[in-house]
Amino acid sequence: MTDGPTTRRFAGRRAIVTGASRGIGAAVAVRLAAEGADVAIVARSLDHHPTLPGSLRVTAGRMAPFGGRVVTVGADLSDSDDCRRIVPAAMDGLGGPADILVNNAAAAIYQPLSDYPRRRRQLTFAINVEAPLDLMQAVLPSMLAAGEGWIVNLSSATARPRPGPPFEKGAPPTMAVYGASKAALNRLTNALADEVWGQGIRVNTVEPRAAVMTEGATALVGQVPKEQIESLETMVEAAVALCDCPAERTGQVVVSLDLLAELDRPVLSLDARTVMTGSPASGGPVPKSV
């Protein structure tokens, strides 16, 4: 790492980040707080999770040193009633409407299509498609009234069809339902951007170039070759780049490292104080796509 400037580019902004009890969502929330935003963090795990480390309380504790307002909203995004109360609760706690919405929460249940239960399919689409759309619809009126707003949806390379035939042996398409839900989210991103074009609302999707080995990802897929991993900070840098992007950047589905290369943007630590010199975006090895 090398010393870098501390920025306050999100000072005066209010943000909502879902799936913020751990992993990418927690890291994005910390980074936004470090750069001056007031942030409402959303997840089911308010105090603890039965199998994974992390909770909203833990994330809030990581954000507290930066001095901004932090609001915790415990909610189950598969429950439509819970979804409807998230934005009002966040606005009440933050003292005003959200300028930024980061839809990070996701359900990932991997198994072959041949025996994939309907209930699991419904749960995946409820959390990965319906909930983000509900939240986008909920923040949109205030963003339109303000004449600006930033919506960032987190997606996955699994949204793209796998090449073949021949199909790669030893890798059954167990991520098909998850990928289909992310493909739907990508399409909604593009459609909403089109619908509100010219009114100051930026709606974009970002996906990692390679695996980001968060607590949840590690539990799901186990060990991944080093060359197929990208750092948590790299993914966060790309996500926050879309949280204050210009109005002409909208309706896009971008890849983390490609976006950072286009912007010639260094990767900062989560506290925004140091430049991560060992990261791929700063001249290190570039991970392979997965």
Look at residue 203 and tell me whether its pLDDT is greater than 90: yes
Please give the average per-residue pLDDT across 108-130, as a whole number.
Answer: 96
Q: What is the pLDDT of residue 284?
A: 46
Is residue 178 flagged as an active site residue?
yes
Q: In percent, how much of the chain has pLDDT > 90? A: 75
Catalytic residue among 175, 178, 184, 216: 178
Please give the average per-residue pLDDT across 227-237, as a whole number.
Answer: 82
Q: What is the pLDDT of residue 289?
A: 41
Please give the average per-residue pLDDT across 245-256, as a whole number.
Answer: 97
Q: What is the pLDDT of residue 277?
A: 64
Q: What is the pLDDT of residue 71?
A: 98
Please give the average per-residue pLDDT across 58-78, as a whole number.
Answer: 97
Packing angle, helices 256-263 and 232-241, rounded to 10: 60
Q: What is the pLDDT of residue 219?
A: 45
Q: Are 75 and 86 in contact (CB under 8 A)?
A: yes
What is the residue whose two structure tokens read 């990965």?
128
Look at residue 290 and tell me whether its pLDDT is greater than 50: no
Q: What is the pLDDT of residue 7?
A: 76
What is the residue whose two structure tokens read 């025996």?
115
Q: Which residue has the higher pLDDT, 208 or 285?
A: 208
Q: Which residue has the higher pLDDT, 225 or 75?
A: 75
Window from 59-73, 98-112, 127-141, 212-226 with minimum mean pLDDT = 212-226
pLDDT per residue as tens digits for the range 88-99: 999 999 999 999
Q: What is the pLDDT of residue 117?
A: 97
pLDDT band at 195 (very low <50, low <70, confident <90, very high): very high
Q: Are 196 and 142 in contact (CB under 8 A)?
A: no
Look at residue 2 and tell me whether its pLDDT is greater than 50: no
Look at residue 162 and tell me whether its pLDDT is greater than 80: yes
Where are the chain's structural domains? 2-282
Task: Enter the pTM of the model.
Answer: 0.90
pLDDT band at 287 (very low <50, low <70, confident <90, very high): very low
pLDDT band at 197 (very low <50, low <70, confident <90, very high): very high
Mean of the per-residue pLDDT values for the chain?
A: 88
pLDDT band at 228 (very low <50, low <70, confident <90, very high): low
Q: What is the pLDDT of residue 288?
A: 41
Domain 2-282 -> CATH class? alpha beta
Beta-bridge partners for 71: 40
